[in-house]
Amino acid sequence: MKHKMLEKFGEVFGNTEEAKVYFAPGRVNLIGEHTDYNAGHVFPCALTIGTYGVARKRNDGILRFYSLNFEHLGVIESSLEDLVFQKEADWTNYPKGVMWAFQEKGYTIKQGMDLLLFGNIPNGSGLSSSASVEVLTGFILRDMFQFSVSNQDLALIGQFSENKFNGVNCGIMDQFAIAMGKEDHAIFLDTADLSYEYAPIKLEGAKIVITSSNKKRGLGDSKYNERRQECETALAELQEVIGIEGLGNLTIEQFEEYKSAIKDPVRQKRAKHAVYENQRTIQAKEALTANQLALFGQLMNASHVSLRDDYEVTGIELDTLVEAAWKVDGVIGSRMTGAGFGGCTVSIVKDEAIDTFQKVVGENYKETIGYEADFYVVEVGNGPVVL
């Protein structure tokens, strides 16, 4: 891959002198969905698929971007003087946003760069291709200009750029999982204070299978912000009766005791998901650590039911995939992953059942939805690296 990337860089930008090759992963969340903006826990891991980048510092302030995923867009040019969001700047708003964020945080970028990217994360699948580009850009900037920032800072700067430059009000999970990824480990992160622990993923005889619904998110971002708003209102109502800082602070018993403070029944369901999902995530981490894979799978399934019925972010595509998966022998657990409204599911499937799983779920999906789903057997990898 390194060689191919350099060759392409040479073709697009003239030669490969002083160009360096980098990689940042994508991520999948095993459990703990829509908890990261509710002071709850998440349990994601980095993947071995992600974004490759070749970068070289320039002597002027010009920025030139090229993506092998969007070759028809050609070289997109900008400059360090012009770090503002522009719709027509397309995907380059992600790297530009991170450069802007570094400047905002007081790190001066004195020279421009030529940057060529290639991502092998299925496009629009909800495996965080944008967070992968953000962390990759931060990692390149740190390497190029010797900024003293930690990997955790790279995650925070990436999230800041996504929130403030690209206008998506996401939580910290995606950027954190990518910047802090560790081979064969999931990251148990408490988003209330960013304390975290690595938990070994020992799936003995089973694999993580991601199924892409191939439904693009479309309206997803506005629904995402709507859910955040609902949780914030529910929290404010609860704060009238109990001193908490986030829904993640509540136990199930406390929630049941105080839930009547939430005046609207829909909002009550949203808050219920956030509280129960957080508790499921804590339990799931313990189950995985104790090698109780069957329990882990049951918690994944329960997470999907809650996202379907209480949080209402699944939709017919993800429900069809998951409900078909549950019926296949050898499926330990299956649920939607990421924001929802399209995107992917994550399933833990016994090795000998993977073929049947793909066949049964694939046929079922095609028949109900009308187009194909795609399957990826994935591996859990490290955070960003220089290749």
- Considering 174, 190, 310, 319, which one is annotated as catalytic? 174
Closest distance between ligand GLA and the C-beta of residue 227, in Å?
Answer: 9
Q: Is the Cβ of residue 64 or residue 273 nearer to ligand GLA in the bound state?
A: 273
Q: Which one, 112 or 342, has the nearer CB to ligand GLA?
A: 342
Q: What does each C-alpha distance from 296 to 39, 251, 285 come to in angstroms?
A: 22, 20, 8
Contacts of 351 (CB under 8 A, 6+ apart): 205, 206, 207
Work out how close the CB of 304 gets to ligand GLA at its nearest, in angstroms, rounded to a whole number: 13
Reported as half-sphere exposure (CB side, CA atoms, 13 A), residue 35 has a value of: 34
* Dist. CA 383–CA 158, nearest whole Å: 14
The DSSP letter of residue 258 is H
DSSP annotation of 288 reads H
**Toward ligand GLA, which CB reaches closer, 59 or 222?**
222
Q: Could you tell me the two tokens for 15?
A: 């030669």
Q: Where are the alpha helices (DSSP H) in 180-251?
A: 220-239
**Is 174 part of the annotated catalytic residue set?**
yes
- Strands (E) located in the chain: 20-31, 41-57, 62-67, 76-79, 113-119, 185-190, 195-200, 206-212, 331-337, 344-350, 374-378, 385-386
Nearest to ligand GLA of 19, 177 (CB atom): 177
d(CA 49, CA 26): 6
- Minimum distance between the CB of residue 356 and ligand GLA, rounded to whole angstroms? 29
Nearer to ligand GLA, 37 or 52 (CB): 37
SS3 content of the chain, % helix, strand, coil (to 5): 45, 25, 30
φ and ψ of 20, to 5 deg? -120, 150
Between CA 119 and CA 200 the distance in angstroms is 26
Q: In sequence order, what are the beta bridge partners of 344? A: 212, 337
Residues that bind ligand GLA (CB under 6 A): 33-34, 36-37, 170-171, 173-174, 338-339
| Cβ at position 36, least distance to ligand GLA in Å | 5
Q: How far is the CB of 141 from ligand GLA (least distance, A)?
A: 21
Q: How far is the CB of 286 from ligand GLA (least distance, A)?
A: 20
Question: Which CB atom, from 38 or from 358, has the smaller least distance to ligand GLA?
Answer: 38
CA dist., res. 273 & res. 333, Å (int): 19
Residue 246, CB-side half-sphere exposure with 13 Å CA sphere:
16
Q: How far is the CB of 21 from ligand GLA (least distance, A)?
A: 27
Exposed / middle / buried, residue 132 (Cβ in 10 Å: 0-12, 13-18, 19+): buried
Between 63 and 186, whose beta carbon lies closer to ligand GLA? Answer: 186
Give the active site residues.
174
